[in-house]
Amino acid sequence: LAKTTQPISMDSYEGQEVNITCSHNNIATNDYITWYQQFPSQGPRFIIQGYKTKVTNEVASLFIPADRKSSTLSLPRVSLSDTAVYYCLVGDMLNAGNNRKLIWGLGTSLAVNP
Amino acid sequence: NAGVTQTPKFRVLKTGQSMTLLCAQDMNHEYMYWYRQDPGMGLRLIHYSVGEGTTAKGEVPDGYNVSRLKKQNFLLGLESAAPSQTSVYFCASSPMTGGSYNEQFFGPGTRLTVL
């Protein structure tokens, strides 16, 4: 069963690039890696998802090495509004049966300072 | 689109009482999920559903029951509430096609306190 590990907290300043790494040594072949953002008193919100190599969208990039045992969420030029908790999720994309596994990390609390 | 909505937003129960949390989504998603979120524990999957009329156990199902009688609704029941069930409960839904298979859309949460 995959287990995800990520740093508890990180600090940054406005305008800097932030990289948050998640370790998932036991990732399964069918598992995708997804990152979510959560603000206080709200539900998590999808940021980006990938299977291997690099994925980029309008808000972030996701780097996944060939062995897929870790992944790095990259947030370019963060602002104060990026202060939130970021979760790594490893999930079985193809198993729609009763053994669906969704393994969430405990979250990284990012503080962006002025 | 309202997205995913949860009812109620807050609730206080006494030990042994029962209640039902309602989740509704208007995105025609096949999959729906119930999570609980506790400090230091992250999100833990309670039950999920892969379609109308189906339910399955997640990581922490004990003490909870669910039903998915209609595609758009997913109910979470606590038959006899215990203080250990004090938590924030999130409902989510996701489509089952393509690369967004695992993109879950979350509701705003229900904060439940069991005394």
Distance in Å, alpha carbon of B17 to nearest chain A alpha carbon = 25
Query: Prior bond to B8 cis, omega within 30?
Result: yes
Amino acid code (one letter) for B2: A
pLDDT winner (highest mean) among A63-72, B42-51, B90-99:
A63-72
Indicate the SS3 state at residue B73. strand
Indicate the SS3 state at residue A59. coil
Give yes or no for B105 touching A (CB within 8 A). Answer: yes
Which pLDDT score, from 0 to 100, does residue B18 have? Answer: 96
pLDDT at B70 over 70: yes
Q: Let me know if A33 is exposed, middle or buried by CB neighbors in 10 A (0-12, 13-18, 19+).
A: buried
Give yes or no for B3 touching A (CB within 8 A). Answer: no
Contact A97 B48 (CB under 8 A): no
**Partners of B71 in the β-ladder:** none
Partners of A96 on chain B (C-beta within 8 Å) are 50, 96
Structural tokens at position A31: 């598992």
Contact A102 B90 (CB under 8 A): no
End-to-end CA distance of chain B: 36
pLDDT digits (tens, 9 = 90+) for A59-113: 999 999 999 999 999 999 999 999 999 999 998 755 555 556 788 999 999 999 9
Chain centroid to CA B4: 11
pLDDT digits (tens, 9 = 90+) for A16-69: 999 999 999 988 888 889 999 999 999 999 999 999 889 999 999 999 999 999
Contact A43 B100 (CB under 8 A): no
